[in-house]
Amino acid sequence: MREKINALLKEVEAFSAENLEELENFRIKFLGKKGEIPALFADFKSVPPEQRREMGQLINTLKQTVQNKIVALKEKLDTQTGDQETQLDLTLPASAPLGSRHPLSIVRNEIIDIFSRIGFTVSEGPEIEDDFHNFTALNFPEEHPARDMQDTFFIEKDPDLALRTHTSSVQVRVMEKSQPPIRTISPGRVFRNEAISARAHCIFHQVEGLYVDENVSFTDLKQTLFYFARELFGEHTKIRFRPSYFPFTEPSAEMDVSCNICGGKGCNICKYTGWVEILGCGMVDPNVLEACHIDNKKYTGFAFGMGIERITMLKYQVNDLRLFFENDLRFLEQFTAAR
């Protein structure tokens, strides 16, 4: 019996399995009901008493060796098949669904495109602004209500930092560090302490425009914005200007475009007027040029500012501004075809 066990031990030690099936056969051969080990235990009854201790230990060693072997080989085979599964098959066809750009990004890029074609550069400024760049340099009187806690998210008093309430602050930054001719647009995020509704949000996006040079006139402003409106909404788009007020422009105006939904005939988007308001604009107030160290005797300029959400809503007929911020795929997936 001793020889037999030793021979089996050698066999077990030398064994190796190529796959799980071979390993299972090995297990059955040794541990199965009619396997070697149960057979040895059966024969054990006929072992003379003085050899029992030794034979018992030998059989147990054999059994333990078989079990250890099975565990080790199983682990090895499992990790091997695991490796195969995680290996990349580069010949598989690509089936990942296409993502889409956010509608606000689509429209922002389009606005940037339109203005770059007529020589405007893109500039950016910080979202955390000081009072000077957001208000004072833009000719806001000391007591102006826009400085009120109602509208502005203040961060700290000294130094006076707040989240910018408009991208007009970037005008100031650009003029501070460059001299005319300046032709730039500034897209960016702005913040106002407003209740969230279908038409308003506390975070939204604007594009600011600024053109400063010698002899820049209101005619240049109108022609530039006329070109812009037609590029964005189509060649039959009409524009009109209504007098308005902004501290940083004089004169100031608001620009309407003919309603792109009904073509000016009247619908619920334009509230049956045929016109929708899209931006504020005007001639840069000489005080603003002066605050930014630009010679206001030599140079004039125009500026404009528009909300990207509002324009996107008009362009894609979105009726609730909150949709832009909820990241609902059912909404976003509708823009996969756009660039």
Residues lying near ligand DAH in the complex (CB under 6 A): 166, 168, 208, 246, 249, 280-282, 303-305
| Residue whose CB is less far from ligand DAH, 115 or 246 | 246
CB of 283 to ligand DAH, least distance (A): 8
CB of 91 to ligand DAH, least distance (A): 54
CB of 208 to ligand DAH, least distance (A): 5
Closest-approach residue to ligand DAH (CB): 305
CB of 100 to ligand DAH, least distance (A): 28
Closest by CA position to 228, among listed 132, 319, 325, 120? 120
Q: 49-86 and 2-14 helices cross at what angle (nearest 10)?
A: 10
CB of 137 to ligand DAH, least distance (A): 13
The reply to whether omega before 141 is within 30° of 0 (cis) is no
| Residue whose CB is less far from ligand DAH, 182 or 303 | 303
What residue has token string 């940037």?
112
How close are the terminal C-alpha atoms of the chain, in Å? 81
CB of 212 to ligand DAH, least distance (A): 12
CB of 169 to ligand DAH, least distance (A): 9
| Residue whose CB is less far from ligand DAH, 172 or 270 | 172
| Residue whose CB is less far from ligand DAH, 125 or 280 | 280
Q: Classify the C-alpha dihedral 123-188-255-142 as positive or negative.
A: negative
| Residue whose CB is less far from ligand DAH, 308 or 323 | 308
| Residue whose CB is less far from ligand DAH, 23 or 283 | 283
| Residue whose CB is less far from ligand DAH, 36 or 309 | 309
| Residue whose CB is less far from ligand DAH, 236 or 240 | 240
| Residue whose CB is less far from ligand DAH, 304 or 324 | 304
Q: What is the 3-state secondary structure (H, E, C) of the chain?
A: CHHHHHHHHHHHHHCCCCCHHHHHHHHHHHHCCCCHHHHHHHHHHHCCHHHHHHHHHHHHHHHHHHHHHHHHHHHHHHHHHHHHHHCCCCCCCCCCCCCCCCHHHHHHHHHHHHHHCCCCEECCCCCEEEHHHHCHHHCCCCCCHHHCCCCCCEEECCCCEEECCCCHHHHHHHHHHCCCCEEEEEEEEEECCCCCCCCCCCEEEEEEEEEEECCCCHHHHHHHHHHHHHHHHCCCCCEEEEEEEECCEEEEEEEEEECCCCCCCCCCCCCCCCEEEEEEEEEECHHHHHHCCCCCCCCEEEEEEEEHHHHHHHHHCCCCCCHHHHCCHHHHHHHCCCC
